[in-house]
Structure 1
Amino acid sequence: MRILLLRTWLTNIGNGFIDKGAKALLEQAAPDSTIIEVSGYPNISAERKAKGEIGNISNVLGVPQIRNGSPDIQDRMVNIADFVDADVAVLPGCILYEFALDAYHDLLKRLNRRNIPIIFLGAGGGNYEAGTQRYVRKVIDSLHSPAIITRDQTAYDCYSSEFEHSFSGIDCAFYISDWYEPPTSTNDFVISAFDRAEETNFTTELPVIRPHHNPFMKPHEGAVKNLIWGQKNQEYFESENIFMSDTLEDYLFLYANTDVTYSDRIHSCVPTLAYGNKAMFDFKTPRAKLFDQILEEDITEGPVRLPEQVLQDKKEKQINQVKDILREVVG
């Protein structure tokens, strides 16, 4: 079986944890398969260009975006997925909303025309507002996708009826510890990963390391976006023990070795939990519903740890669901 894994884009380091976690999941569900990873960065680049800089700012401000730059650029942008033969395509992550589906929709339709079934894996939405739900259902209807495994119950409740096969599962990044086992640190430390909100007040005697999850864009963007992000970026660069890298493994080293992670980034907390360490999430977002799928304690109230057996049981159940879906969809 040839599985086309449609990655998103590493402008957000957490997306990489989702993509590699999805790969680890698929390797266990279909060990004899060939997994072909293809980036969606060409798609998001084209979409951003089509909407122009104003389109990017409107996404930050939460207002509707319009294509006011180069509206035909998606037609001219090459994606390697168009050149690869596959039995099935898998799109993982937080893609059930306009920002992600706008970028991927044209490619997904082309895969449809090639009779390559599309599975949404560990899927969730940026929000679940009525307008977003209408948009997502319209896209799903246009694709005739056979299966979805969601990462939170709200996504399942909203969209499972649109698919022949559906399962309420967990986020793909919980499999990241199956993809990479970091070495043990010689130093003890705590992580404070806040690149959107104010840092949580906490007390520790350990050194505090501060990773940034947008190393390729914020905090390096130009004057237009810095009208909004500039002050926050400046505060970050004035902090102690700041960290950014161009490899997932460096971030995973930190999350696998931290005593506690405090963060406004979901995918700082998820890998921390996956490696058996404590995490606290401090940010208001509907995306945080994914924690309800796997934690009994409230991760927003204080540091929590995910019991190893609970995680293993959830992961095995989802692996079996993926096996069943692949058997039904591909044969």
Structure 2
Amino acid sequence: MTNKPRVALVSGFWGQNIGNAFFNVGGKKILQEIFPEHDVDYIQDQPGYRTFHNQSKGNPKKDIGLLKYLDVKYIVLQGPMLTVNFRNLWEDTFKHLKRRGVKIILLSAAMFKHNQAEVQANREFLKQYPPEILCTRDKQTYDAFKDCCEKSYNGIDSAFFVTNAYEPFVLDIKPYITLNFDRFPEPDIHLNNPNSSTFDYSFEALNYKWSLKIPKIQNWFSKKGKWQAYIGHLLDIRKLPEQIGEYLVIRPEHRFNPHITWKVYKHPNAIASDEPFTYFTVYANTTLTLSDRVHACVATLAYGKPAMLFTPSPRSYLFDRLGLTDIRKKPVLLNKDYLEEEKKKQLEFLKHAVASR
């Protein structure tokens, strides 16, 4: 048993979205930097966050509510938590923790849909239960809630710190690109096509002219919802290539649970895992990532490789915070020196905020 003061980092639900693990791992490294004399450990998130649970009803009624009993100095929440249902899931816990003097930190915080309903609901809640520190991952969230906390910072996503936390394995494999499309369909990809104007995307990368076409039927189902997207994948009878140009194709799946095997392994060179380190290795060794998953692109960029994002999700505002506004149009690279400077400034703010408590 440790005698150090403890910091609880709320985490989990990795299986239903492994991207959660990316900012959990990066977040733990941040906290270990700013709390060197503390013991920082993971603890499972509220049960109401599981997929397809009606969050407006709060957590399951017979759940014990373990988080409110934690005997810690700090509890840290991360990610796009600021939904319209944030109060429903957290008010009872915040009430108990505040009563016992536990300090609450919102790290890499963001809204989910980035709409006015979320702004209104969460401003009221955070005014009533102000966190000790608020560090956001996009400017929109920062602007909406910066005055709800005395110590606020327009920060970056914690997943950009994974390079400080984990050194991936080197792969003895031919050069490859990573195509990670969980919900939306993988585009049809053509290289050096002279009729590129007829495609949905066109850009130059890796010494090729890329032309991409989004399958209409599959895309229609994907836009309808998560479960409807599986219908679109089921109807997808394409034989997707094992190689594009000179590059092997590797296809990660970010949703391990529920493990819909036929979907995960429908196309060649698939890979899925219920832990994040396998994915860090894949993205760190890739030549290029094309993905509809925000954190597939974050990890790729953090490890110094180019990435392009294919999703309308406003949660992608975290890229705008680092000037990567073109990531939805073409592959982009993140300047390593710029990233390191942003990470350094964020750590300095957090260390100062903790020291001045």
Alignment TM-score, normalising by the size of structure 1: 0.83
Partner of 1:35: 40
> Residues 287 and 119 (structure 1 numbering): CA distance in 2 closer, same or farther, change over 3 Å?
same
User: What is the correspondence of 1:1-331 to structure 2 with a 5 Å cutoff?
Assistant: 1-10=5-14, 11-40=16-45, 42-44=47-49, 66-67=56-57, 73-74=60-61, 76-98=62-84, 102-187=88-173, 188-202=175-189, 203=191, 204=244, 205-217=246-258, 219=260, 234=263, 237-296=265-324, 298-329=326-357
* Conserved? CA contact 1:9–1:15, under 8 Å: yes
The superposition leaves residues 268-287 of structure 1 with CA deviations (integer Å, 9 ceiling, x where unpaired) of 00011111111111111111
Sequence identity percentage: 31
Distance 2:9 2:311 in 1: 30
Q: 5+ residue gaps in structure 2?
A: 192-243
RMSD of the TM alignment (CA)?
2.2
Distance 1:101 1:295 in 2: 32
Distance 2:86 2:178 in 1: 29
Residue 172 of structure 2: SS of its match in structure 1?
coil
> Residues 201 and 293 (structure 1 numbering): CA distance in 2 closer, same or farther, change over 3 Å?
farther
Distance 2:28 2:79 in 1: 12
Give 1:238 shift: 2.4
Give 1:171 shift: 0.2
Q: Which amino acid in the other structure matches residue 23 of structure 2?
A: I
Higher strand share: 2
Q: 5+ residue gaps in structure 1?
A: 57-64, 221-232
Give 1:309 shift: 0.6
> Residues 170 and 41 (structure 1 numbering): CA distance in 2 closer, same or farther, change over 3 Å?
same
Q: Structure 1 segments of 4 or more deviating over 6 A? A: none
The superposition leaves residues 164-189 of structure 1 with CA deviations (integer Å, 9 ceiling, x where unpaired) of 11110100000011111011111121
Give 1:196 shift: 1.1
Distance 2:305 2:185 in 1: 23
The superposition leaves residues 123-163 of structure 1 with CA deviations (integer Å, 9 ceiling, x where unpaired) of 11111211121111222123222321110000011111111
Q: Which amino acid in the other structure matches residue 92 of structure 1?
A: Q
Residue 247 of structure 2: SS of its match in structure 1?
coil
* Conserved? CA contact 1:280–1:299, under 8 Å: yes
Distance 2:73 2:100 in 1: 10
Partner of 2:217: none
* Conserved? CA contact 1:2–1:34, under 8 Å: yes
* Conserved? CA contact 1:6–1:39, under 8 Å: yes
Q: Which amino acid in the other structure matches residue 284 of structure 1?
A: P
Distance 2:6 2:59 in 1: 31
